[in-house]
Structure formats: structure tokens, C-alpha cells
Structure 1
Amino acid sequence: MAKNNRRRFGSVRKLPSGRWQVRYYDPVTNERRPDEKTYATKTEADIRLSQIEADMSRGVWVDPDAGSVNFGEYADTWLKDRKLGATTRERYEGVLRLHIKPPLGSLFVSGITAPRVRAWRTALLDSGVGEPTVVKAYQMLRAIMNTAVDDELIRRNPCRIPGADAYDVPERPVLTVPEVYAVAAAIQPQWRALVLLTAFTTLRLGELAALRRRDVDVEARLLRVRRNQAELSSGKLLTKSPKSQAGFRPVAFPADIVPDLVHHLEHHAAAGQDGRFFVGPRGGRLRRSNFRDDWIAARTKAGVTEDVHFHDLRHTGNTLASQSGASTRELMTRMGHSTAKAALNYQHMTSDRDRAIADKMGEAARKALGKDDPPAPTGTDGAREG
């Protein structure tokens, strides 16, 4: 016979095996249920029963059976319910498919424990998966388990490894102004404006690829970012609005590159006000693959280190703008950072102040190139928006 020890809340009893069992009334069903584990001593069972009573009184008790949900299916539903852009969703799907579901997908949500999370992360790193990818996988797993806490499937998020959600980003190289111009001179003529505009406006490649002729005002020395082009791993191209209000922005450029932009409009841009400012080699859409080989060849010819990627032109431009006196607020606006603060600051920043920053960037460039004065203002048909 099992020995029963009744208390004001629940009971503990000794089983024929000699171990102790905890029983209590489920606050939802009002039915008596046993704890999920048995205990070696009555003291351990009493402590566990007290813990359950305290959790119920504080409203933090979680049904032990609630976590008996397949984690792989739960993660798929979690991702399906998220409002994400096409490229972000594709990236999340890849991380989930390659790095999270294979080792964890067959477990219950409640089976994703802190020790198991640590072992999973260590196994990824030991298998040669890059630290940035492991960080992204850990961040995603933590987000899924946060939702599981909100859904009352588990009591506490098991992703609690200090520092696992970040990594030290290696400092990217910064080109000098002469190096920027050397690469621009060495690259195919249709990409010269792409190099200079990236360095002096710090636009992302997707923003540059989505520019229309009417977005570039050479007389006002201003371009307007209204859209972004995204490329999926399948090769499909999507044109979409910027992710936040901060992405919609005017960006000024120095007078020094106006002649290059005018030449580009006359010889390389698509026709018409809505024609694309940058097009591919055969008149199609601009893709990174369109000019990757040309970039590498020009970089080599200009004597620039092979560690420099095209995206480093954006980093170079941001550095030059900062050195030219742009405040943090102005720099964030110029870059189009997707934060509430950056978006709010953008609404109050005038194009005159932004043009002053561009002028200082031009002065720094002329000094580095040994030039005295900017070229005389010029314009071209179809370059200014009505």
C-alpha cells in the first residue's frame, strides 16, 4: 500500500518502490494530478509541493504537459505567423532548416532545456559553422522560446548563455579617397558612377539598384531614396518600399561627382523619367553578379587590397561623412537607419544641412586629390524631377 501524507495543499505519498510522489489539484481542470517526477525522500517531495503551491499563488505555475508540443512544428508555426520581408523570411527559413530543426526539431518544446541549448550551440561551433551564423541561430531560437513562455508552454526561456547573442564584428577596411577614384577609373565606364555614388552617398546596393532617373537631381545635388531592390537566393528580384520611414530620405552628394553622374545619365541610364539609373550589362536589372568580376578586376588594377568588398564603399562614405563633421543624428539619417529615433530625427533634418555635409566631403576629396575648386554646375535633360 502506498503511504499517503495529506496536507492543506496537495499531498505526498510513498510508493511501493520506496520513492515519494507529489499530488495536487490542477487549477484549470480541478482534477488531482501527480507531479511529473518522483523523489527519493519525503523532504524532497515536500519541498517540491511547496514550490508548486507558491507558483500557483503567484500565478506563474505552468502546466507540465503544456510543453509536450513538437518543437519543429511549433517553430514552423512561429515563423509562419511572423510579419517579415521576403529576404528576412528566406534567411530565417534557412537558419531554421539548416541549424535549428535538425538537432532540436524532434523534441518537445519542454525538452529544450538550458543544458541542451548549450550543447547545441557548442556542437554548431565545433562543426565549423561560422560564429555570425551561430549567433543568428541562437537569437532565433531565443525568440521562439520567448514566444513559448508567452504561450505558457514553458516557465522560463532556456536560452540564457551570456554573450551568445552577439559577436565581435571585425573592422571593415576603409578606402582612401584616392583609392576610391582609382577603382572608379579602373572599372568599366558603366560602373564608374556606381562606385562614386556609393562612396559619397553611402546608399545600399539595393537602394542604388532601385533608383530611377527622376530620383537623381544633379542640379540640386540631391537624390531621393524611395524604394529598395531585394534579391532572393533563387535569383528573383523584388522591388519594395524601405523597411521604415527612416529609409525614405533625401541624400545630398558633392559637386565633384556631378560631371560623372551627368555622363552616366547621358550614356548608361535607361531612358525616360522612370528609367532605371543603373542597368545591367544588357539593359536588364542591376545585380551584384553583373559587376562582381569587374569590381575585382578594377580593385586589383587599382592596387587595392583584396579584402575590400564593394559594400566597404558604404563604410568608407560613412567614415568620410563622420570625419567631415556629421553628427550622429545626421549620420544615422544619411544612412537610413531603421530605428524610431533615426526616423524622428530625419523629419527635422533639412536638405541644406545635408548639402553642407556633402560639400565638406567634397572638400576633403579635392584636398586628397590635390584639386583646388569644384567643377562648374551643370545639368542634363531629364535629370531633374518636376
Structure 2
Amino acid sequence: MKWPNSAAKHRANIAEAMANVTAVLVSSSKGAPDPETLRQALRGWAFQMVRDGDDELMPRKDAETPPDDISHALTWLTGASLKVAYVAQSDNLRRALNAISRRLDGKRAADNTILRKRTTLSNALRYAVERELLPKNPLSSIDWRPPQTDDEIDFEYVPGPKQAKQLLQAVRGQGPRGEHLYAFFGCLYYAAMRPSEVANLKKRNCKLPASGWGELVLTSSRPEVGAGWTDDGKSYEERGLKRRARRATRSVPIPPVLVRMLQSHVTQHGIAPDGRLFQAALGGRVRSTEYSNVWQEAREKALLPEELETPLANVPYSLRHAGVSLWIKAGVDPVEVSRRAGHSVAVLWKFYAKILRGQEQTTNQLIDTALGDSDLTE
């Protein structure tokens, strides 16, 4: 029901959550396949949809012949799965909630992951109500409190301006591969772009003057996801900007340093046939595995040994956090920061509240200056 109108990444997330709960909603574990085979059978065959020759949407297990181990797992599950009416029982729902609360290694999952998967479970039960398989959504009667999330970024591990520049130079120093990705990482920091947005940045969207500030007009992104979740079988999905209408754009002014980086990149490396600025060394899109490997090597070169043992700048996305943090600390209006970063003011406060609260004293000083020495009290 959800598949046709869902983004590829959302499809994969739904399948992951449903695989977690379905594997434990069984009447017996006798003869059960190993957990990893069962997970693959559910996620990659039962809950992954394909189109047949008549363009009809169906589960992959019905359109293709699964390997023997997958087929056995699906057959076992068919006989062991609980009927929907029994799923609504308290013990069974608690088993499902416990399943979405754990990672594959048994450790507790991240709070946001638990909440996302619980939402998927709730949506599935609501759909059962819609199909008149259940009288009501039984989750509402389960005394289970979702974890309280603290989404604020731990700025102890967000690189400062000096560290960000050192990391960028460490990227550049990795030979041809690093030089090719230097401006890619520059976009993450100086324009606070998401990696999926940088991956789809085209030359025609860049205004790069000979001097002064330039501008990037962002129109789309290329989030990376497995080929089985997209409509065209590609390992990525080209779509609109995150949390925006399909054809919405976002203008991001960029400082002279990034203008020069992009100009140099185009001169040295050219552009892809479709106009994209960044492509893999052998053509095609820059994959996350490629730029993540470059980033980890840059960390080892730029950070102190004691810093390497912490989560400081542990992922490329840290540069985006660093860029947004820099704008806030520079005194840029939070509304403008949100606009440039591509999210709402509410989201900005949710993730950057510590820094924004730290700017209150500066704001008070500005108001004092505007008020002057006037004293209206009698």
C-alpha cells in the first residue's frame, strides 16, 4: 500500500521495521531458519516489491524464484506467522516492541530508530483496522513509553573552523582521489549542504564570479539507497530537496573560498556528461563508500591521537554541522540560517539549541545598544 508513493529510502526503512516485528510474531520457533536468513527473506523478498511484465506491483518472492534457503525461510514463516487478531494480544505486541528496540547485535537501538520503527508498526496496525482485520489499533492500550530523544548535537565533537580547514587540507593531500573530492567536502562545510545534494550539484546551478561571493541554486538531491528499492533499479534516487515540494529550489550564497574551490575543480576535473560537478574517478556518481574512506583517512592525518579515539568529526556529515554552527556563532539570523541549510527554524532549534541559547547574551547587548541610554521609568 505504501510502496508506490514512498521514496526509495522510506521503502527500505519500512521493510526493515516490518522484518524486525514479523520475525518475532510467530507461534513457535521450532524449525526456524537462522536469524540472518530470515531477515534477508523478509526484507529482500517478502517486503521488497517489483513489477511484473504487466507492470503490476507484487512482492519479489512472487515474481522471482528465491534461493533454496530463502524459500525455506519463507515457507517456514508462512506456517509459523500469527494471525493478525493474535498480533493484537499484549504479549505479542510487547515482543514486537522489544524487537524494534534492539540492533542486530542485541544492543539497544538509537532512540530515533526505535520511534521510526514503532511508527511503521503502528501504521501497519492502522491499516489492519482499515481492512477490518482489527477493531482498533491495539498499540494505544499497551503501557509502553517510547524513549525520550535528545536530538541536540553534541558540539564537543563538531569540528571548529581551524579543525575543519585542517580536515579539508588532509582530504586534498590524498593524491588525485583527495584532490577530486576536495571541493565536494568544501560544499559540506562552506555551504552546509547534505551529501546527497552535493552529489547532484550541476554546473548550471552554480554562479561563480571572478571575485566576491557566489551562489548555488539547489534543485534536487541523489540519496543513495539499494537498487532493489528504486523504481528504475539504480542504486540512488534522484528526487527533490529534502522536506520540500518536488520542484522547489534553495539558494545558498557561498563565500569566495568555496567559489575558488569550485572553479578550480571544474578546471582540473571537468564535469560529468549530465552536468554534475562531482563524479567517481572512473565515472558515475560518487558513492558514500568512496568519500567516507577518504574522510576517515583525513581524520587520521588531521586529528590528534586522543581526538581519534572520540566521535570528533567521525562522519563527513560533521562538516555540515560545523558549517551551520559557524553561521550561528557569526550572528546570522536563525531564520536565514534555516533557509540556507534547508530546514525549518523548529528543526534548527531542535538540533542547535545549545549554540542558539549561547547567543542570547550577544542578542541582549544588541538590544541594549538599540535602546541607548533612554530610561522610561519614573
- Per the normalisation by structure 1, the TM-score is 0.60
Does the alignment pair 1:96 with 2:75?
no
Does the alignment pair 1:121 with 2:121?
no
The residue identity in structure 1 corresponding to 2:165 is Y
8 Å contact kept, 1:269–1:279: no
The residue identity in structure 2 corresponding to 1:258 is V
Aligned to 1:164: 146
Cα shift at 1:263: 1.0
8 Å contact kept, 2:93–2:139: yes
What RMSD in Å do the two structures reach over aligned CA positions? 2.8
Aligned to 2:269: 268
How many Å separate the matches in 2 of 1:271 and 1:310? 23
- Can you list the C-alpha shifts for 1:107-152, whole angstroms capped at 9, x where unaligned? 2333223443223323554643523443322121112223334455
Aligned to 1:137: 117
Aligned to 1:286: 286
The residue identity in structure 2 corresponding to 1:142 is S
Does the alignment pair 1:107 with 2:82?
yes
Does the alignment pair 1:185 with 2:169?
yes
Aligned to 2:236: 237
How many Å separate the matches in 1 of 2:334 and 2:144? 29
Aligned to 2:374: none
How many Å separate the matches in 2 of 1:114 and 1:209? 46
Aligned to 1:208: 198
Cα shift at 1:93: 1.4
Aligned to 1:314: 320
The residue identity in structure 2 corresponding to 1:167 is T
8 Å contact kept, 2:225–2:235: yes
Cα shift at 1:176: 0.6
How many Å separate the matches in 1 of 2:235 and 2:100? 30
How many Å separate the matches in 1 of 2:131 and 2:22? 20
CA 1:155 to 1:204, structure 2 compared with 1: closer, same or farther past 3 Å? same
8 Å contact kept, 2:25–2:95: no
How many Å separate the matches in 2 of 1:162 and 1:211? 44
The residue identity in structure 1 corresponding to 2:325 is T
- Can you list the C-alpha shifts for 1:275-301, whole angstroms capped at 9, x where unaligned? 211111223311112222221111111
8 Å contact kept, 2:197–2:220: yes
Decide which of 335, 341, 344 is 1:335's aligned counterpart.
341
Aligned to 2:127: 147
- Structure 1 stretch displaced more, 142-151 or 194-203: 142-151
How many Å separate the matches in 1 of 2:328 and 2:135? 46
- Can you list the C-alpha shifts for 1:308-352, whole angstroms capped at 9, x where unaligned? 21011111112112222333432332222379x99xxxxxxxxxx
More strand by share: 1
How many Å separate the matches in 1 of 2:120 and 2:148? 12
Partner of 1:250, secondary structure, is: strand
Partner of 1:159, secondary structure, is: helix
How many Å separate the matches in 1 of 2:337 and 2:91? 43
How many Å separate the matches in 1 of 2:239 and 2:11? 14
The residue identity in structure 2 corresponding to 1:281 is A
Does the alignment pair 1:225 with 2:218?
yes
How many Å separate the matches in 2 of 1:79 and 1:287? 27
- Can you list the C-alpha shifts for 1:346-377, whole angstroms capped at 9, x where unaligned? xxxxxxxxxxxxxxxxxxxxxxxxxxxxxxxx
Q: Which has the larger radius of gyration?
A: 1
Cα shift at 1:165: 6.2
Cα shift at 1:84: 0.4
Cα shift at 1:200: 1.6
How many Å separate the matches in 1 of 2:245 and 2:2? 25
Stretches of structure 1 that go unaligned for 5 or more consecutive residues are 1-77, 343-386
Cα shift at 1:225: 0.9
Cα shift at 1:207: 0.7
8 Å contact kept, 2:191–2:252: yes
- Can you list the C-alpha shifts for 1:69-96, whole angstroms capped at 9, x where unaligned? xxxxxxxxx444x620112112211221
Cα shift at 1:250: 0.9
8 Å contact kept, 1:280–1:287: yes
